[in-house]
Structure 1
Amino acid sequence: MTEPMIRLNDLVLTYSNEAGPVEVLRRIELDVRRGETVSVVGPSGSGKSSMMMVMAGLERATSGTVGIDGTDLGGLDEDALARFRGERIGIVFQDFHLIPTMSALENVAVPLELAGRRDAFEQAAETLQQVGLDHRLTHYPGQLSGGEQQRVALARAFAVQPRLLLADEPTGNLDGNTGEKVIELLFDLVTHQGTTLVLITHDPSLAQRCSRTVRLADGQIVDDGTISAAAGEPPEPQLATGA
């Protein structure tokens, strides 16, 4: 039987503050198959972003196990965890997280350089071309629109050809039209590369673009299923270049 891309087993995440411990994630059990697209929904404070941070290895679980692509993240030290993340996981945030003093090309090349790729800039340029920004290679984030900045962030995430993409409200800072173009592009890249996708969103229509929806409430999974056939298949994504 093929190992799932993600396996969370009895996952607990607890923070400490002056009032005492706060249990953010409570005994999470979740398997995500390779190539699956999963939306994660739930009210603010339900633990969605915290769960994604644990999957990315940016937060350490308090207890339980986190398996990503057959690797137990709990068994990796910080250096090994950073290498693993750089080689296998792409992350897209709501706030772009681009380096303001670097051009679009340099921003996309950073993870490739960290991975030791000699062709970092060539691969970065090719990926920016895929997202329709080959005419913006030398522009800095401050010279780009919000949609263009998020497309640079997508290019950065996909340049290493990750096996897993984690996206946290990737259109949250974009207007509706621009956000839709970015989402079309994201799904096109996921389909093209066969990437497993975990997408956090408050948008029900966006959640239904994924093959499965997981609902969190108060740090627990309260619903985990596949969209019914009555809802229809998600539309075939098309490459967008106008955001």
Structure 2
Amino acid sequence: MTDSPTAPPTIRLRGVRLTLTGPAGSVNILRGLDLDVPQGQALGLVGPSGAGKSSLLMVAAGLQRPTQGTVQVAGHDLSGLDEDALARFRRDHVGVVFQGFHLVPTMTAEENVAVPLEFAGRRDAFEVARTRLEAVGLGHRLGHYPGQLSGGEQQRVALARAFAPDPLLLLADEPTGNLDGETGRRVMDLLFGLHDEQKTTLVLITHDPALAARCDRIVRIDDGRIVDDRPANEAAA
């Protein structure tokens, strides 16, 4: 569900280009993207491997600076922020879920979820962490370490961690890529349920047409350009 069209978009990209230079020369990753993502919208980002989908997410998260163009997220112009300010921006506004779980192996599930809250100075960090883990069905696994959890359980911990600070924006890059089909479906049910409950803007990279169809809108990228953009019920993912 998308908020009022008069509300400022959570993401606004204008003329975004990303060029990376390596031993073989310069490679154009993003080629002048313009994109608005309204508050509360679930956007499915699809396209072939190497099309620039993950790079777009990295730019939107402030993890990669574009070569050219403007990136505004949650009302912040990311080009004007230094690395420390970008880190605070992500802490306060953005949750990220990757295909890899990226949990700290020496921390329990509860501690992993509490980490971003502690960085934000939240005194209720562990209370919120327990609540979020209970919401993803892991209230009985609070004291378990990642190595003691299944892949699906680890991804649910990662989801709980991403949603714990109540982010305005959630970026998910193939979050079920390392999971079997049934476990992946359960994780995605949780992700969309949390998105609906918290009214979080969601950008989801997926190669699964059924997952893309659960979004409000589907944007297709190919060779660093947006080649299709339409409501999910009109798109052929």
- CA deviation vs aligned residue, 1:60-110 (integer Å, no higher than 9, x gap): 111101100111011111111100101110000001100111100010001
Q: Which residue of 2 aligns with 1:62?
A: 67
| In 2: Cα distance, 1:178 partner to 1:17 partner | 38
Cα displacement (A) at 1:3: 1.3
Q: Which residue of 1 aligns with 2:215?
A: 210
Task: Note the 1:1-12 alignment, pairs <5 A.
Answer: 1-12=6-17
Alignment of 1:219 onto 2:197: no
Q: Which residue of 2 aligns with 1:190?
A: 195
Report sequence identity in percent. Answer: 65
Task: Note the 1:1-243 alignment, pairs <5 A.
Answer: 1-228=6-233
- CA deviation vs aligned residue, 1:89-143 (integer Å, no higher than 9, x gap): 0000001100111100010001001111111111111111111101000000000
Gaps of 5+ in 2: 1-5
Cα displacement (A) at 1:192: 0.4
- Give, as a single letter, the amino acid of the residue that structure 2 aligns with 1:116: G
| In 2: Cα distance, 1:163 partner to 1:174 partner | 26
How many correspondences in the alignment? 231
TM-score, normalised to structure 1, is 0.93
- CA RMSD in angstroms, aligned pairs only: 1.1
Q: Give 3-state SS (helix, strand or coil) of 2:194's partner.
A: helix
Q: Which residue of 2 aligns with 1:234?
A: none
TM-score, normalised to structure 2, is 0.95
- Give, as a single letter, the amino acid of the residue that structure 2 aligns with 1:128: L
| In 2: Cα distance, 1:197 partner to 1:94 partner | 16
Cα displacement (A) at 1:230: 9.5
- Give, as a single letter, the amino acid of the residue that structure 2 aligns with 1:153: A
Following TM superposition, where does structure 1 have runs of at least 4 consecutive aligned residues deviating by more than 4 angstroms? none
- Give, as a single letter, the amino acid of the residue that structure 2 aligns with 1:223: D
| In 2: Cα distance, 1:197 partner to 1:102 partner | 27
Q: Give 3-state SS (helix, strand or coil) of 2:226's partner.
A: strand
Gaps of 5+ in 1: 232-243
| In 2: Cα distance, 1:134 partner to 1:126 partner | 8
